[in-house]
Structure 1
Amino acid sequence: MPTSRTARPTGSRRTSQSGGPAAKRTAAPRPRALTSRATVLLAVFVVLALAYTYPIRVYLQQESQIAQMEREQTEQRADIAATAKELEKWKDKEYIRIQARKDLYYVRPGETPLLVINDPEGAARDADQKAPAAAPARWYDTLWHSVQAANAEPSN
């Protein structure tokens, strides 16, 4: 039994084809960075990504529209609730009387209506009542008066 490192029998060892010493190793050319198989795979991924962008955009747009419609629906429900509450008020006869007195100035029989108008600008205007200013003369009246004044001047 041989005590060498190799466990191969001597007949199975590699030798050079010429029968001489073992062949010298040479550096193999490096493979290209992107093979044709990798290029095709990359192209398929790009096409799939482009194919899925439009449906995803449509989906997100529809989700946005749904959220907006739900907000509008919530606002409409709040408006409906407020209107229903206002309608309940109008079923009360006393509330109708109060609104008629306030908005339409209705009075009950035997009452004297008194309407107070809060107009501080009008009150200040009335306190300073001056004679209305004369209307400015029209341009042709001014011209005619100047002609008459020139005619009336004594000649020397």
Structure 2
Amino acid sequence: MPGTSQGARPAGEPSGRPSRGHLTSRAAILALVVCAIALTLAYPVREYIAQRQEIAELRHRERVAQQQVERLEAHKRRLADESYIKREARRRLHYCMPGEKCYVVLDGDGAGERPESAGPPRRPPWYETLWRSVEAADGR
């Protein structure tokens, strides 16, 4: 054909090379290698993350334990103080030092003792309650 040159091809005519849209064997091998590397690294990365979380949890526990140790040391120092012991004995045990007059208020209204009727109502024993429920079920 005189009007066409050898280098020019009409549109739509396939060339002698494979088209770029298909998966080549090199790309398949590359994808396979990338997947193998990802699978190989997945477990160590997961373990690394788990270990970092465990380390963070252990550091938190250490801080909590250290705070508890500090509180206990402060309490130990207080217990070594004689004035603190005397103050606590007076407060908790109502202890009176020799030569002191101590008063203990039993209730706030000054009556001293509660009347029996002021308490909660008396409940019958469990077996009475059981027997009454059996009688009620029999229709007596």
CA deviations 1:19-67 (Å, max 9, x no partner) are xx96574531525521112111101111110111111111001101111
The equivalent of 1:101 in structure 2 is: 90
The normalised TM-score by structure 1 is 0.58
2:32 to 35, 40, 43: 43
Structure 1 residues 117, 44: closer, same or farther in 2, change over 3 A?
Answer: farther
The equivalent of 1:65 in structure 2 is: 54
Q: Distance in 2 between matches of 1:96 and 1:31?
A: 90
2:72 to 78, 83, 89: 83
Q: Distance in 2 between matches of 1:82 and 1:50?
A: 49
1:115 to 104, 112, 119: 104
Q: Distance in 1 between matches of 2:43 and 2:53?
A: 15
Q: Distance in 1 between matches of 2:62 and 2:103?
A: 46
The normalised TM-score by structure 2 is 0.63
**Pair 1:27 & 2:11 matched:** no
How far residue 74 of structure 1 moved from its aligned partner, in angstroms, is: 1.0
How far residue 87 of structure 1 moved from its aligned partner, in angstroms, is: 1.0
Any idea what SS the aligned residue of 1:101 has? helix
Q: Distance in 1 between matches of 2:57 and 2:34?
A: 34
> Larger radius of gyration, structure 1 or 2?
1
Gap regions ≥5 residues in structure 1: 1-20, 140-156
Whichever residue aligns with residue 27 of structure 1, its letter is P
The equivalent of 2:81 in structure 1 is: 92
Percent of pairs with identical residues: 28
Any idea what SS the aligned residue of 1:111 has? coil
